[in-house]
Structure 1
Amino acid sequence: MAGLFGSASSTTTSASNTQGDISKDVPISNPPEDSISDLSFSPQSEHIAVASWDKKVRIYEINSQGGSEGKALFEHEGPVLSCCWSKDGSKVVGAGADKAARMLDLGQNGAPAQQVAAHEKEIRCARFVDVPGQQTPVLVTGSWDKTIKYWDLRQSNPVASINCQDRVYTMDSKDKLLVIGTAERYINVINLDKPGEFYKTMTSPLKWQTRVVACFTDATGFAVGSIEGRCAIQYIEEKDKNSNFSFKCHRQTPPNQRDVSNVYSVNSINFHPVQGTFSTAGSDGTFHFWDKDAKNRLKGYPEVGGTISTTAFNRSGSIFAYAVSYDWSKGFSANTPQLPNKVMLHAVVGDECKPRPKTGK
């Protein structure tokens, strides 16, 4: 995908230039008809799954020029809140407000999606994970019924279930690390070598409601984003605790009002699959790329014309997708037809996501 929107070399910028460019970003054709809740790229090909409040999961193919074409879709009986791919790229799962997870097997042309999981309340997130001893992919679902459940897709009942402290709001996994964020700011860490128990439980280092968690690419820790324009970098092991920190982001100071700061939710965090740097995106309609090790911002991008509800990198990190869509922060009544609803593709070029060179003292 090096050729997406032109050559990388032509848009390389100096490290001192932290203002990013979105003028060449390309919209996905035929986007969903309602708010976009989740984006997920295939780990094996240039396909992206898009979950929406219009009760559908859509799968698009992206070509080397940044064009897109709808390839498949399947329906739920309520808004879809999460979507994910199996590790081999053959299956897509959606999960949502109908208390079900449904899976489309892309290898079975024309076959309908099958229900593969159920909870007593809405399912907020779903992820495929590798669990030792399991010969087939395992699906993990997290629900507002305060449980997470593991599913062997060949069975109708979960192979394991864990009670959490409160409603599950967010979840992410990398290698043997699974991190779950719930209401009341609880964060649970699971080592998938022992999937039936919490390895560690903590309270979020941020003072306000957890919106998103995202695992580091090396699985040594995770980032947390809150509704109060803050992000925290948190390592799992005690020996690394001195590297933990948090920072303000997605805040705006109105003109001529130095003592006023408008605070926005951090809605999405993604780690670059190659560089290990990460993105944040928020209700202020901006996204940024950061280097956690250097503790600085690599690039900040202009407002995109609406709230950014969710984001994702593709498997190589050459494409950053972001949904310009209502994030439901102001409830049902604020979701008007005039609001934008689209998925944009941003070509990651030059040094946009590269860590800063380490300088000796």
Structure 2
Amino acid sequence: MQQQQFELADPPSDAISSVVFSPTTSNQLLVSSWDKTVRLYDIHENSLRASFQHKASVLDCCFSDGAHIFSGGLDHCIKSFDINSTNESIVGLHDKAVKCVEYSLEKHMVVSGSWDCTIRLWDIRKKDALFGQYEIGEGAKVFALSLVHYKLVVATAGRQFFIYDIRNMSETIQKRESSLKFMTRCVKCMPDRRGYASSSIEGRVAVEFFDPSPEAQARKYAFKCHRKVIDGVDTVYPVNALAFHPTHGTFASGGADGVVNIWDGFNKKRLRQYPQYPTSIASLDFSRDGQYLAIASSYTFEEGEKDHPPDSVFIRHINENECKPRVITSSA
């Protein structure tokens, strides 16, 4: 019988910024960290396969295929690593920290978002990789971004969302203000390309749709989560992480309360809540086949410097029906 959950050996030595599964296999997992490393694990063997270094803390990472890794962080640098040869190279630079990196399979480009208030596209097939640089606006530091097919959603400071078609970045398809009243922590696009979910520091998640029609926009909603009553006081936790199941369309949320929830966004139901993890949930990702959920249990400093449990990555095996939407039947 398969183990329901296990902890990865050889975790990073500092805060975890991102966990990302390979797009080609369910056993390879990337973990980026404030300890300046990007680590590649084989989760089936529970072993550290390789480790790649930056000069400063790494804030995000992604795969392009099963063999190439891209990452960015506080050294303003986007680096490329080849898993098989361990060769590394610098793809390009931002003027400030690189907060997010994603790969577009359709365009064969890396998309990066930075605290320098720009989005940059990098054509990794060319030596001079910078394909385009796009100013978002003054003060629009990139906090999170997510890409599905040609749609790019960028969440910035000031609770602004910018939606682009990466085939034509010269103009914004839509500009929206967040449905949530406080700072955005995470944004993830739906696998079916219909919309996205976002989360905030104030214990809420919003579900939005790309279609600008009044009918579609009437279906958007937001809800409270990751809250608990402590000594009679309603305590609210940041929602740091979101991840969509690749086939069922349900999604996981992870909060600074150390809790992971699974949500059915279309029926507006919580499907389950896992037992509390040792500390804040910093990042989440489902494997490409939906059989595993990687959970970064890593203190996110919402209460400042304090003693906290070690930074860990847990791998949870997802049972066949664990993330399926519940069929709602009406009684005769």
TM-score normalised by the chain length of structure 2? 0.94
Distance verdict in 2 for CA 1:280–1:350, change over 3 Å: same
Query: What corresponds to 1:250 in structure 2?
Result: 226
Deviations 1:188-228 (A, max 9, x none): 11123323321111010000000000000111100010000
Q: Which residue of 1 aligns with 2:121?
A: 150
- Residues 277 and 355, structure 1, Cα contact 8 Å, conserved in 2: yes
Q: CA deviation at 1:237?
A: 1.0
Are 1:288 and 2:261 matched, yes or no?
yes
Q: Report the equivalent of 1:8.
A: none
Amino acid paired to 1:253: V
1:116 pairs with 2:78: no
Shift of 1:316: 0.6
Distance in 2 separating the partners of 1:329 and 1:121:
23
- Secondary structure (helix, strand or coil) at the match of 2:327 reads coil
Q: Structure 1 residue aligned with 2:10, among 30, 37, 48?
A: 30
The unaligned stretches of length 5 or more in structure 1 are 6-23
The ranges of structure 1 where at least 4 consecutive aligned residues each deviate by more than 3 angstroms after the TM superposition are none
- Correspondence list, 1:108-187, <5 A: 109-111=85-87, 113-131=88-106, 134=107, 137-153=108-124, 154-165=126-137, 166-187=140-161
Structure 2 unmatched ranges of 5 or more = none
- Give the match for residue 199 of structure 1: 173
Q: Tell me the CA shift for residue 301 of structure 1.
A: 1.7
**Contact between 1:266 and 1:280, CA under 8 Å: does it hold in 2?**
yes
Structure 1 segment 291-306 matched on structure 2, within 5 A: 291-306=264-279
**RMSD between aligned residues:** 1.5
Q: 1:161 touches 1:196 (CA, 8 Å); kept in 2?
A: no
Once the two structures are TM-superposed, the CA of residue 351 in structure 1 deviates from its matched residue by: 2.0
Query: Which has the higher relative contact order, 1 or 2, with Cα contacts under 8 A spaced 6 or more apart?
Result: 1
Secondary structure of 2:62 counterpart: strand
Alignment counterpart, residue 43 of structure 1, candidates 23, 34, 40: 23
What do the CA deviations read for 1:64-83 (whole angstroms, capped 9, x no partner)?
Answer: xxx41111111001000001
Contact 2:278–2:309 under 8 Å retained in 1: no
- Counterpart residue number, 2:78: 101
Q: Distance between the aligned counterparts of 1:145 and 1:349, measured in 2?
A: 42
Per the TM alignment, residue 25 of structure 1 is displaced from its structure 2 partner at its CA by: 1.7
Q: Please report how far the alpha carbon of residue 303 of structure 1 lies from its aligned counterpart in structure 2 after TM superposition.
A: 1.4
> Which residue of the partner structure matches residue 90 of structure 1?
67
Could you report, residue by residue, the CA deviation over 1:140-189 in whole angstroms, capped at 9, with x for unpaired residues?
Answer: 10000000100012233521111113100001111121111001101011
* AA matched with 1:127: E
Q: Tell me the TM-score normalised to structure 1 length.
A: 0.87
Letter paired with 2:154: I
Return the alpha-carbon distance in structure 1 between the equivalents of residues 183 and 252 of structure 2: 19
Distance 2:86 2:257 in 1: 40
Q: Give 1:314's aligned amino acid.
A: S
CA 1:212–1:146: 2 relative to 1, 3 Å: same
Percentage of identical aligned residues: 34
> Per-residue deviation at 1:346?
0.7
